[in-house]
Amino acid sequence: MTKLQLLAIGLLSLLVPRVQAQTAADTATGGPKLSSLSVIPSAQPATADTGARPKAIEYSDAYYTRLTIHRYASYAELPLFAAEYALGQRILNGQESGDFASSSTVSAHRVVAGSLGLLFAVNTVTGLWNLYDARHDPAGRTRRYLHALSMLAADAGFLYTASLAGDAREEQSSANQHRNAALVSMGIATASTLMMWLWKE
């Protein structure tokens, strides 16, 4: 035999007893131990959290100030509607019967109409401003947009009502048209306001 063959036989004679001894130990303990394995499996990497997390919506102090103004102005809306309807109906009845309303009644009608115009101007500005600031907030979005659209429709109705005021003093048909336009606008605004009061999300 060559020296290389003798060296290989010598190495095998050293390894075989160790393998036999390890096999016997594994059999006695029910299987190979983790420490006897040459490769230890590494821990599986944690699965990345790819789920979208809701982003917190923060509002400024100015937002809440505008909201307070908007809310308190809305409380004055319905009493002003009632007063304007009563004054307008008194003027209209006087035109129909010939018992014309006093100048103080006409003046009061104009003052209340001007107050309503100011109220709707303030609430339109504060409402649309806050609607823009809340554009990324999904909570109550449907309610906010329905309210905004209906109140803009009421705004347009009141502008149309005001445009009929001049002719309403001259012709009964124009006066009736003025009243009907006012009632439709008041109805839309009232429904929209009650929706915001009663529809909570």
Q: Report angle CA 41, 47, 52 to the nearest 5 degrees.
A: 175
Q: Looking at the domain assignment, is residue 26 inside a domain?
A: no
Whether 43 maps to a domain, the answer reads: no
Domain assignment of residue 153, given as a range: 61-198
CA count, 13 A, side-chain hemisphere, 140:
14
Q: Across residues 127-148, what is the average pLDDT?
A: 95
- Region 100-127: mean pLDDT is 95
Residue 164 within any structural domain of the chain: yes
Q: Give a yes or no: residue 37 inside a domain.
A: no
**Of 156, 162, 155, 189, the residue nearest 177 (C-alpha):** 162
For residue 10, what is the enclosing H or E element?
helix 3-29
d(CA 108, CA 54): 52
Residue 170 lies in a domain: yes
Q: Which of 151, 136, 149 is nearest to 193 (CA)?
A: 151
Domain assignment present for residue 45? The answer is no
Greatest Cα pair distance, the chain, in angstroms, is: 143
What mean pLDDT comes out for the span 114-132?
97
Contact assessment for residue 101 and residue 90, using Cβ atoms and an 8 Å cutoff: yes
Q: How far is CA 133 from CA 126, 148, 163, 199, in A?
A: 11, 14, 33, 21
Count the domains in the chain: 1
pTM of the model: 0.70
Asked whether residue 166 is domain-assigned, the answer is: yes
**Residue 100: its pLDDT value, please?**
84
With respect to residue 97, please indicate whether it lies within any of the assigned structural domains. Answer: yes
pLDDT of residue 144: 96
Length of the chain equals: 201
